[in-house]
Amino acid sequence: MLAPPNTFVMDIKAIRDRTKWWSRGLRYQDTMGVGNPYADRLDVRRFDDTANRTILAIDNYQNLTGLTVTFAGRSYLVEPAQLSVIDVGSY
């Protein structure tokens, strides 16, 4: 009998499907240009696609609310979820 799917892995798959992760040809940019005043509580990584649109991938392990990150001079509210993405678009 197979074990039930890991919900964390299923969340990752749902995010990748929703953002069309693989077809966008995303390139890892680490934290370049990302303002994260909550680095001790949030892990934020930047990815740019082939059309120069940006996605911020966020690990909010404690599901904290009311936190923001900045990119390209704009603030973005972080979802209170362990994993989320912010599709910044073009900047």
Sign of the alpha-carbon dihedral angle for 58, 63, 64, 66: positive
Q: Token pair for residue 57?
A: 């991938």
Tell which wins on pLDDT, 81 or 2: 81
The answer to whether the CB of 78 falls within 8 A of the CB of 45 is no
Sign of the alpha-carbon dihedral angle for 34, 49, 11, 14: positive
Contacts of 27 (CB under 8 A, 6+ apart): 47, 48, 49
Checking if the pLDDT of 91 tops 70, the result is no
Task: Identify the pLDDT of residue 3.
Answer: 83
Checking if the pLDDT of 81 tops 70, the result is yes
Mean pLDDT of the chain: 93
61 vs 83: CA distance, rounded Å: 8
Tens-place pLDDT, residues 39-65: 999 999 999 999 999 999 999 999 999
